[in-house]
Amino acid sequence: MTAAGSAEPQLGGVKTVASDAQGPLGASGVTPSATAVVESADDVVEVVRAAGAAGAALVATGCGARMSVGWPPARCDYALSTRRLDRVLEHRAEDLTVTVEAGVTLDELDRALAERGQCLPFDPAEPDRTTIGGLIAADACGPLRHSTGKVRDSLLGLDVVMGSGERLRAGGKVVKNVAGYDIGKLLVGSVGTLGVVVSATFKTRPRPQRETILAWPQATVAAAIEAAFELDRAGVGAAFLEAVPAARSEALGIDGAAALVVGLQGFAADVSAQSRRLEELSRGQAKEVASAAQLVATALRDCAVLEPERDSLRSRVALPPSELAGWVDRAVGEAGTRGLAIEVCAHAAIGVARIQVAPAEGAATGLLAEWMRSSARALGGWVIHESVPAALRRDLDPWGQSGVVVELMRGVKRVFDPEGVLSPGRFVGGI
Amino acid sequence: MSATGTATAAISDTLIDEIRGVVGAEGLITDPAATRVYECDGFVLARKSPQLVVLPASREEVAATLRLLWQAEVPFVPRGAGTGLSGGCLPLQAPVMVGTSRLRRIREVDVANRRAVVEAGVVNLHVTRAVAEHGLLYAPDPSSQGACTVGGNVAENSGGPHTLKYGVTTNHVLGIELVLPDGRVVELGGVVDDVPGYDLRGFAIGGEGTVGLVTAATLRLVPVPAAVRTMMAVFGSVDDACRAVSAIIAAGVIPAALELMDRLIVQAVEDAYGFGFPTGAGAVLIVELDGLADGVAEQVEAVEALCRESSADEVRVARDEAERAALWKSRKKAFGAVGRLAPNYCTQDGVVPRGSVPEILRRISAVAERQRLRIANVFHAGDGNIHPIILFDERDEDEVRRVLDAGREILEACVDLGGSVTGEHGIGVEKIEQMPLIFSPTDLRVMAELRAVFDPLSRCNPGKILPTPGACVELGAPRRQVPL
Ligand SMILES: Cc1cc2nc3c(=O)[nH]c(=O)nc-3n(C[C@H](O)[C@H](O)[C@H](O)COP(=O)(O)OP(=O)(O)OC[C@H]3O[C@@H](n4cnc5c(N)ncnc54)[C@H](O)[C@@H]3O)c2cc1C
């Protein structure tokens, strides 16, 4: 594949650079022999085809912020870097849509949208390292999910190169469209196992007229979740309701063992009214945080990746919202009896928590991971282990999905990537 | 696409007996006079009676029925209330129809978690009625919501006036219970939105009944907004109304609904329901704002000012719930009022970028003139989702031909402006020919292959959505012999 003896190594006519173990793929635990840096959709086609023809495995990556998601790839001969697919193709402000290439980071896109007073409805951790391709592949989300939903709710269309090397267009550029099957949904959260996203079209939204953040000290994260649930049910229209642990509340300049952090965004009149309402409902305990809302928001979204360099277990749990506080209480207890230190952040009113288990020797972490999954399943919920410590990586199933649906998913994979070129082994059921 | 008579294939008496054994006599319709009722949906330009209509009353009965059909190699068509507007229910290459009218249970309302599990045959509006006492509602609200079913909504990924702010069906369905064409029951998605794996639920929603029969869905419910204000703005021309729409969006206001009615519709609606629209109005905008009280009041003022700047002759805010209901009735029953204008109508459902709405309306007028047809417009202006209603008389063959041509021309214009051929009504049989306008041969092949993951033998609603190169083969000489 690599043109022998030539100064410029290539894959499918596209220049490659040597990969290093600390590079973007580091977190996945594998090291490809080279990384192809694509600059156009045609490049992507060439690289995917060349990999397929050589029977090689290819893993697409942006900045590598979410390479830990899923099983480690079973094979990885080459990486494909989308970072040079870096153009915002079309921002139709009057239509509240934007079409953007896969390698653009959320921060870069946000700056472009801000010029016309708009933004994207997503705020996952590390926006400076999260590319559009990664956002879609990892189905990344942050606190704002409380009010604006997930990637699937704002994604309108995709331009993709499938594992077969063919180019596919899913959806379109208009805000409403039911022509044909909704293929774009399949790519969201597919961790690169179906296709390489070249560009995507999203709904945008007007930047809020005003925003402010209030913090309400709480005894425990579970108590913060409980408070969030009550506020939400009392009709407080928050942009987000985040329950954060001690470590984070300090960083945010909040006293207390834990806190409920409430984001208010929207029309000035609404924001002031909600802020007053909140102070009332909390009997004066919820107070506007002193630092700039933007800074706090950034700190909050990064909650999910506290100390990402450590070899910790990071899990996302989703439950019926009314069950979350009780479950978190039990999880803290379970961790305690196993001698493990855990930290919980939660999108508190929508039933989603992020759990981090500090690195520990022995079998305890694996047992806790299994407890999390079985207890969540018993409540109708799911747990995805988004980052698994090296010692558990071969055994702990990050996904926990099985049955006829996995059979159907295998069928989907075969349609997109019959030869298994893209990120083999990373997904559900070893897809 | 004219009347095609009854299906030619016959179904064995044994099979009928076996199915009767599953659903009972009350779940079976074989009398040709009675099956005629099922010859078409809201798309009346094609008709064909099924030979047999099966109405199972539970998931188990659906599964057993589909298993029998699978073993007998007989294709079927799922049907909800038959309000579809693209011919999705037409039993084109399938002699059996499986209806959901007896799957009527609301299995569970989980108030604390704002979810409801309802069976496919539950009527859309009945969901909202059932949860209203808890201050909740089910957001997707097709204008047909008094009749259409949740199963039909899921199959079509239906929208409605309030999708501008709240999104369409797929944004409100967490999970579906689906019976695959071979009778296996699968749960796609779940009660939470973070189920590992490819989003098969998202793929099945909008599948137009070609991936299996939906027996139930887990729906997200939303709280009734604290404040709602509905207003009407009257304009001298459609252009002025469109300018107001753009100005509202540009001002950063996202109304709950933003609907436009043109002169013909306003007149018909006024004749039918007497809401009090000024006669001779060129266009009426219905704007609904909802949210928290203070912000809504602020937005009402802003919208009123923007409408006046766009030369509105009159802006009226509904004073109370009764007036608001009357206004919405005129909008949602607008299609009904069209009956006063002509014996038949056919609705198109194209989408254009919001900024191109004035342009597409100009092109629609030009088409109307060229084809010598009357076309009325009542549509989701805030989404750029047009609904030109082409009026005609089905007894006039030449006119019917011109109606079909006009529909095609309008959809081509939508695509030309960067849009889509359908925003919410689906492809069905009606718009199959237009699919290649927006999708490449590869896109279409991939769609067919993905559908085959669920339905490898095309047993479930065959002949819909995708242009099949071998269509005539399938129609005339099925690849797989159906035992007669
Ligand atoms: C007056 C009027 C106004 C309308 N307004 C709107 C509107 O505002 N927005 C909008 O989106 N639509 C609108 N529609 C279109 C129509 O009402 C929707 O498409 C609706 O969702 C169809 O539901 P139904 O139960 O009637 O389905 P049907 O017409 O019975 O079926 C529609 C399709 O779904 C399939 N199907 C039905 N049930 C199932 C099931 N349980 N499992 C699998 N497949 C199934 C059928 O095979 C068919 O392909 C309108 C229609 C009318 C007549």
Give me the average pLDDT of each 10-residue run along chain A (431 residues). 57 82 63 91 96 94 85 91 96 95 97 96 91 96 94 98 97 95 98 97 94 92 96 92 84 81 91 92 90 76 67 94 98 96 94 93 94 98 94 93 97 97 95 96
Contact residues, chain B, for A273 at CB < 8 Å = 292-295
pLDDT in tens, B259-311: 999 999 999 999 888 888 888 899 999 999 999 888 899 999 999 999 999 99
Which pLDDT score, from 0 to 100, does residue A305 have? 64
Half-sphere exposure of A414 (CA within 13 A, CB side): 11
- pLDDT at residue A226, as a whole number: 97
Q: Which residue of B has its CA nearest to A405?
A: B186
- Contact between A369 and A393 under an 8 Å Cβ cutoff? The reply is no
B contacts of A351 (beta carbons < 8 Å) = 113, 192
Residue A405, H or E segment:
helix A404-416
Measure B356 CA to nearest chain A CA, in Å: 9
pTM of the model: 0.94
Say if B188 is an interface residue toward chain A (CB within 8 Å).
yes
Residues of chain B with CATH 3.30.70.2190: 227-329
Q: How confident is the model at residue B386 (pLDDT cuts 50, 70, 90)?
A: very high
Q: Is the CB of B99 under 6 A from ligand 1?
A: no
State the pLDDT at residue B10: 65
Q: Is the CB of B151 under 6 A from ligand 1?
A: yes
User: Rounded to whole angstroms, how far apart are CA atoms B99 and B35?
Assistant: 12
**Minimum CA distance residue for ligand 1 atom 23:** B152
Strand order in A14-18's β-sheet? A10-11, A14-18, A34-37, A78-81, A58-61
User: Does ligand 1 come within 6 angstroms of the Cβ of B78?
Assistant: yes
Residues in chain A: 431
Phi and psi, residue B386, nearest 5°: -85, 155
> Per-residue pLDDT for B422 more than 60?
yes
Q: What percent of chain B has pLDDT over 70?
A: 95
CATH 3.30.465.10 domain residues, chain B: 106-223
**Shortest alpha-carbon distance between residue B353 and chain A (Å):** 6
Segment (H or E) for B312:
strand B312-317
Q: Do B167 and A179 touch (CB under 8 A)?
A: no
Q: Quote the CA–CA distance of A314 and A355 in Å, as a whole number.
A: 6
Distance, in Å, from the CA atom of A79 to the CA atom of A151, rounded to the nearest integer, reads: 24
Output Rg (C-alpha) for chain B, integer angstroms: 23
**pLDDT tens sequence across B50-90:** 999 999 999 999 999 999 999 999 999 999 999 999 999 99
- CATH code reported for the domain at B106-223: 3.30.465.10
Mean pLDDT of B368-383: 95
Residue A2 is predicted with a pLDDT of: 44
Residue of B nearest to A182 (CA): B203
State mean pLDDT over B326-354: 90
- What does CATH list as the number for B13-99? 3.30.43.10
Sign of the CA dihedral running B126, B130, B131, B132: positive
Among all chains, which residue has been given the structure tokens 């009350």? B26
Domains A88-206 and A306-392 share a fold: no
Pocket flag, ligand 1, residue B50 (CB < 6 Å) = no
Instruction: Quote the minimal CA–CA distance from B154 to chain A in Å.
Output: 11
Among the partner residues B167, B250, B351, nearest to A174 by beta-carbon distance: B351
Averaged pLDDT, B208-236? 97
Euclidean distance between CA atoms B314 and B307, whole angstroms:
9
> Which regions of chain B carry the CATH code 3.30.70.2740?
342-416
Q: B interface mutation test: which of A176, A315, A355 has the most B CBs within 10 A? A: A176
Buried b (16+ CB within 10 A) or exposed e, B91-128: bbbbbbbbbbbbbeebeebbeebbbbbbbbbbbbbbbb
The CATH class that applies to domain A210-303 reads alpha beta
Task: Give pLDDT, residue B473.
Answer: 28
Atom of ligand 1 nearest to the CA of B215: 41
Q: Nearest CA to CA, how far is A42 from chain B (Å)?
A: 16
CA distance B271 to B65: 47
Mean pLDDT of chain B: 92
Given a contact cutoff of 8 angstroms between Cβ atoms, the answer to whether B215 and B62 are in contact is: yes
The pLDDT assigned to A256 comes to: 77
A175/B383 touch (CB, cutoff 8 Å), yes or no = yes
What's the start-to-end Cα distance of chain A, in Å? 25
Size of interface A-B (CB pairs under 8 A): 232
The counts of H helices and E strands in chain A are 13, 20
pLDDT at B343 (0 to 100): 92
Do the Cβ atoms of B443 and A152 come within 8 Å? no
User: Residue B339: what pLDDT?
Assistant: 85
| Nearest in space to B149 (alpha carbons), one of B201, B203, B217 | B217
Instruction: Tell the residue nearest (CA) to atom 7 of ligand 1.
Output: B142
Residues of chain B contacting residue A316, judged by C-beta atoms under 8 Å apart: 194
pLDDT of residue B3 exceeding 60? no
Which residues of chain B does CATH 3.30.43.10 include?
A: 13-99
How many angstroms separate the alpha carbon of residue B84 from the centre of ligand 1? 4
The two three-digit tokens of residue B472, written as one number? 């005539």
Give me the pLDDT at residue B453, please: 98
Considering only A26-35, A92-101, B219-228, B448-457, which range has the smallest mean pLDDT?
A26-35
Of B122, B118, B85, give the one whose Cα is nearest residue B102: B122
Quote the pLDDT of residue A23. Answer: 61
Whose structure tokens read 């753009």?
A: B246
Task: Over range B396-411, report the average pLDDT.
Answer: 94
CATH class for the region spanning A306-392: alpha beta
Measured from the Cα of B158, ligand 1's closest atom is 11
Those of residues 406-425 in B touching chain A at CB distance below 8 A are 418-425
Residue with the two structure tokens 């400076």: A128
Quick one: CA torsion of A173, A178, A180, A181, rounded to 10 degrees?
A: 100
Nearest Cα residue to A323 out of A366, A375, A287, A388 = A375
Angle, vertex CA B454, rays to CA B452 and CA B457, nearest 5: 50
Q: What pLDDT was estimated at residue A188?
A: 98
CATH number belonging to domain B342-416: 3.30.70.2740
pLDDT at B472 over 80: no
Q: Are A213 and A242 in contact (CB under 8 A)?
A: no
CB burial class (10 A; 0-12, 13-18, 19+) of residue A238?
A: buried
Domain boundaries of chain A, sorted by first residue: 88-206, 210-303, 306-392
Q: Which residues contact B439 (CB under 8 A, 6 or more apart)?
A: A169, A179, A180, B447
Check CB contact under 8 Å for A409 and B197. Answer: yes
How many angstroms away from the CA of A278 is the closest CA of chain B?
14
Is domain B227-329 in CATH 2.70.98.40, yes or no? Answer: no
The answer to whether A152 faces chain B, any CB pair under 8 Å, is yes
Q: Cβ of B198 and A190 within 8 Å?
A: yes
Closest Cα in chain A to B193: A318
Res B478: pLDDT: 26
Give the CATH number of domain A88-206; options: 3.40.50.2300, 3.30.200.20, 3.30.465.10, 3.30.460.20: 3.30.465.10
Contacts of A401 in chain B (CB under 8 A): 195-197
Contact state of A235 with B226 under an 8 Å Cβ cutoff:
yes
End-to-end, the C-alpha distance of chain B in Å comes to 26
A367 residue type, one letter? L
- Backbone region of residue A414 per phi and psi (left: phi > 0; alpha: psi in -120 to 50; beta: other values): alpha
